[in-house]
Amino acid sequence: AEDENTDALILYLEWLRDGRKFVENGLKLLSTAKPLCVIKGGVGKQSSEAVKSHTGGLTPSYEVFKAAVSKIRGYLATEIQDAVEVCELARRLKRLNPSRIIIVTNSGGLGVLAASHLDLSGFEIPRPPSKLVEALSKLGLRNAASNPLDLGGDTYIETLTDILTLRELKEYYDLAVLAYVPTAAETPEKIAKVIEEKQSSFTLPVIGYFAGEGSYEIVARISKYLPVISSSWILSRALIYMREFNRGFRS
């Protein structure tokens, strides 16, 4: 909590010696607005026995542990992947509490998956209003009036990043999700270069969501410019956590 070089914390633990101290330190971390993501080993009966055999410690009731993590506004992860991605989003998009989200995509399936998870999690996915539709038409995008805004599988990254620079987005949305599957004509280097050049002009906070061939290399190259997620499930979990974590903090 007191380390100025620490923006967020990922914690793996199997058992607690002092639950009260855990909550006390967690509240201290919360007071500094630093996100905490917790991975709990030894959840079921058999895994709890495994913890006992190699640590000699007793694992607390999982429900009791969940309540303790909730009290300090921590994120209780299912696995390492969501712990890392949720913590990174919460760290980089600190104080963000989005309710209205636009999904810009060249993949109908990827966009629909993201929209489904967000919708079920209570986030708004509003259609572009007429003013934004008009701005999109000036980019050559006719009848672009849906959300997810699906531009088709042959659309290059430049078109999607151009959309993310529109001033009109800020009037109607709090957050954009860039859901992208690389076309056959694009290399990871080219996609990363376009995002690097355009990201400073984006008018909303943007989360990257990439799939398909080359997506891992793209993520490795662009993660310094955009926070990224690897699944729609993690996206919704991250935004739910950020909504809860930022409750009570000023923007």
CATH number at residue 133: 3.40.50.261
62 or 174, greater pLDDT: 174
**Token output for 236:** 């919704």
Same-domain status, 22 and 132: no
The reply to whether 146 falls in a domain is yes
Q: Is the peptide bond before 227 cis (omega within 30 degrees of 0)?
A: no
- CA–chain centroid gap for 42, Å, is 26
Return the pLDDT at 42: 66
User: Cα separation of 8 and 179, whole Å?
Assistant: 26
Same-domain status, 73 and 115: no
Main-chain dihedrals φ then ψ at residue 64, nearest 5 degrees: -65, -40
Same-domain status, 45 and 121: no
Residue that finishes a domain, picked among 77, 92, 125: 77
DSSP calls for 124-137: B-PPPPHHHHHHHH
Q: In which band, very low, low, confident or very high, does the pLDDT at 2 lie, cut at 50, 70 and 90?
A: confident
User: Could you list the residue range(s) of the whole structural domain that residue 70 is in?
Assistant: 9-77
Number of structural domains found in the chain: 2
CA dihedral (75, 78, 83, 86) positive or negative: negative
Encoded amino acid at 133, one letter: V
- With 0-12 / 13-18 / 19 or more C-beta atoms within 10 angstroms meaning exposed / middle / buried, residue 11 is middle
Q: Which of 187, 192, 197 is nearest to 208 (CA)?
A: 192
CA dihedral (200, 132, 115, 113) positive or negative: negative
Same-domain status, 122 and 194: yes
Taking residues 124-148, what's their average pLDDT? 93
Same-domain status, 116 and 212: yes
Summarised one tens digit per residue, pLDDT across range 27-47 is 999 999 999 999 988 675 555
**Token output for 49:** 């026995």
User: Cα separation of 8 and 90, whole Å?
Assistant: 8
Same-domain status, 130 and 192: yes
User: Cα separation of 155 and 158, whole Å?
Assistant: 8
Q: Which of 197, 177, 187 is nearest to 218 (CA)?
A: 187
Q: Which residue, chain included where needed, has tokens 């690389």?
A: 182
User: Cα separation of 126 and 227, whole Å?
Assistant: 23
User: Cα separation of 136 and 132, whole Å?
Assistant: 6
Return the pLDDT at 58: 46
Same-domain status, 65 and 123: no
CA dihedral (33, 119, 231, 100) positive or negative: negative
What is this structure's pTM? Answer: 0.89
**Token output for 82:** 């969501």
Task: Give the DSSP H/E element, type plus range, for residue 77.
Answer: strand 75-77
Summarised one tens digit per residue, pLDDT across range 139-160 is 999 878 999 999 998 899 999 9
Same-domain status, 41 and 121: no
Same-domain status, 147 and 192: yes
